[in-house]
């Protein structure tokens, strides 16, 4: 058992020291603390093609998270998943692979495999609200079973005592020595009710998590309503691990509101905000608004990269239409052209309609 086996030194000194350090980071307003911005995992959108084009054009992201990998008993990763975390496809990104499972052995096997690829930090998905995932007790569905979740972590952390990261070169090209894996969690506040959160947090606090990323909604919310900042505040106050905020940061003003309410908060994960405005983090960091030209270049590079990845324009057009579902808010007056994008049957039609949009220029909220 992980807890029973932990050494006296670790329990008395290590954990206390770690606890104090992390409590400080979460609850103290420190102007000098570096702010960290993460790209949220978004299945079907922020795969390696998006991430790599984004990195080349914008960058400025401290950690990229892969959309979830769902390890299976027979084969740890599917070809598509393996491709997404292939180090050659992720050069220059600080990539954290994310795993979706409720089976600790599958988690350990996937961690071991990812370690051989050079990944030292692995993230557990406890937030996916999908009706194909939740009934299996995975993603946000796992939050319904706090006792099982506790046993899961217990087994994972004791298993990781025997499975060290083997050492190797990471995706930033750095030599990383052999050592313990780092495990982070991305969670929602509960399944049905944010009142479930304190019990979940007590479980998270029993383990040496690298960080706790909180999407401030419960599963039943899916993506509707407003993030619950009240309950998020509990995470920030009481989490042993450093806390990262996630949910509905679409503009620099949204970020400011959070910063004013939680001055000590210094980790932010953004998903739809970045997909809809790829220059958002640079706007937040130094006030520089996204230029139409930057968006055009990003858009056309991304399309070309998808064509190369899939070997055909049909799938690339499909992906770009998904992107436009988010990017449209930068062009609030262009309903007609947006319709043309949605109806585009091939790459030429899509690029022509997009070019018309870019000629009008970015107008939306930034
Ligand atoms: C299309 C889509 C796919 C997503 N895929 C994942 C995923 O694979 N893993 C995960 O942890 N969260 C996933 N999420 C949730 C996002 O990571 C994020 O928590 C959510 O969108 C809220 O953040 P945002 O308001 O900044 O977008 C997904 C969200 C969307 C909309």
R_g over Cα of the chain: 21
Burial letters for 220-229: b for 16+ Cβ neighbours within 10 Å, e otherwise? Answer: ebeeeeebbe
Distance of CA 3 from the midpoint of ligand 1 (Å):
32
Cα of 220 from ligand 1 centre, angstroms? 15
Residues sharing a CB contact under 8 Å with residue 13, sequence separation 6 or more, in sequence order: none
- pLDDT tens string 293-315: 999 999 999 999 999 999 999 99
Dihedral class, residue 277 (left if φ above 0, else alpha if ψ from -120 to 50, else beta): beta
- Does residue 17 register a pLDDT over 50? no
Per-residue pLDDT tens over the stretch 324-359: 999 999 998 889 999 999 999 999 999 999 999 999
DSSP strand E in 56-139: where?
A: 63-65, 95-96, 98-99, 121-126
The tens digit of pLDDT for each residue in 70-120 reads 998 888 999 999 999 999 999 999 999 999 999 999 999 999 999 999 999
Ligand 1 atom nearest the C-alpha of 127 is: 11
> How far apart are the C-alpha atoms of 100 and 126, rounded to whole Å?
8
pLDDT exceeds cutoff 60 at 29: no
**Ligand 1 atom with least separation from CA of 227:** 25
pLDDT in tens, 137-170: 999 999 999 999 999 999 999 999 999 999 999 9
Of all protein residues, whose CA lies closest to atom 19 belonging to ligand 1? 215
Cα–ligand 1 centroid distance for 140 (angstroms)? 12
| pTM of the complete model | 0.93
Please name the residue whose Cα sits nearest to atom 15 of ligand 1.
42
Mutate to test the pocket of ligand 1, among 139, 271, 281 (most ligand atoms within 8 A of CB): 271
Which residue minimizes the CA distance to atom 13 of ligand 1? 42
Counted residue by residue, the chain has a size of 366
Tokens of 357: 């949009």
Between the alpha carbon of residue 94 and those of residues 175, 226, 262, the distances in Å are 13, 30, 26
Select from 38, 42, 274 the residue to mutate for testing ligand 1; criterion: most ligand atoms less than 8 Å from CB. Answer: 42
Q: Which residues line ligand 1 (CB under 6 A)?
A: 40-45, 67-68, 98, 125, 127-128, 186, 215, 246-249, 270-273
| CB-CB contact of 133 with 191 (8 Å) | no
Helix, strand, coil percentages for the chain (3-state, nearest 5): 50, 10, 35
- Residue whose Cα lies nearest atom 4 of ligand 1: it is 42
- Integer Cα distance of 50 and 283 in angstroms: 20
């Amino acid at each position: 058992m992980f807890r029973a086996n932990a050494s006296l030194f670790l329990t008395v000194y290590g954990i206390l020291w770690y606890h104090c350090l992390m409590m400080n980071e979460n609850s103290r307003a420190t102007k000098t603390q570096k702010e960290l911005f993460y790209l949220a995992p978004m299945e079907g959108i922020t795969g390696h093609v998006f991430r790599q084009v984004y990195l080349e054009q914008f960058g400025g992201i401290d950690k990229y998270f892969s959309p979830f990998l769902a390890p299976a008993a027979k084969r740890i990763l599917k070809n598509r998943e393996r491709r997404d975390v292939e180090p050659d496809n992720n050069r220059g990104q600080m990539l954290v692979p994310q795993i979706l499972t409720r089976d600790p052995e599958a988690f350990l096997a996937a961690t071991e495999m990812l370690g051989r690829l050079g990944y030292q930090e692995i993230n557990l998905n406890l937030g996916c609200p999908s009706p194909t995932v939740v009934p299996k007790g995975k993603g946000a569905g796992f939050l319904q079973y706090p006792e099982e979740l506790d046993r899961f972590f217990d087994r994972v952390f004791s298993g990781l005592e025997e499975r060290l990261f083997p050492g190797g070169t990471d995706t930033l090209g750095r030599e990383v020595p052999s050592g313990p894996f780092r495990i982070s969690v991305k969670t929602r506040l509960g399944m049905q009710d944010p009142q479930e959160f304190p019990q979940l947090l007590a479980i998270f606090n029993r383990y040496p998590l690298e960080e706790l990323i909180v999407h401030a909604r419960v599963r039943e919310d899916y993506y509707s309503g407003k993030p619950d900042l009240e309950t998020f505040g509990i995470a920030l106050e009481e989490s042993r691990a450093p806390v990262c905020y996630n949910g509905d940061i679409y503009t620099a003003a949204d970020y400011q509101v959070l910063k004013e309410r939680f001055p000590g908060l210094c980790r932010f994960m953004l998903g739809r905000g970045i997909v809809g405005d790829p220059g958002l983090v640079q706007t937040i960091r130094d006030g520089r608004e996204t230029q139409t030209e930057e968006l055009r270049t990003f858009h056309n590079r991304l399309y070309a990269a998808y064509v190369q990845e899939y070997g055909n324009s049909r799938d690339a057009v499909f992906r770009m239409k998904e992107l436009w579902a988010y990017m449209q808010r930068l062009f609030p007056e262009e309903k007609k052209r947006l319709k043309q994008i949605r109806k585009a049957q091939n790459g030429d039609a899509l690029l022509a309609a997009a070019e018309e949009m870019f000629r009008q220029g970015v107008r939306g909220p930034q």
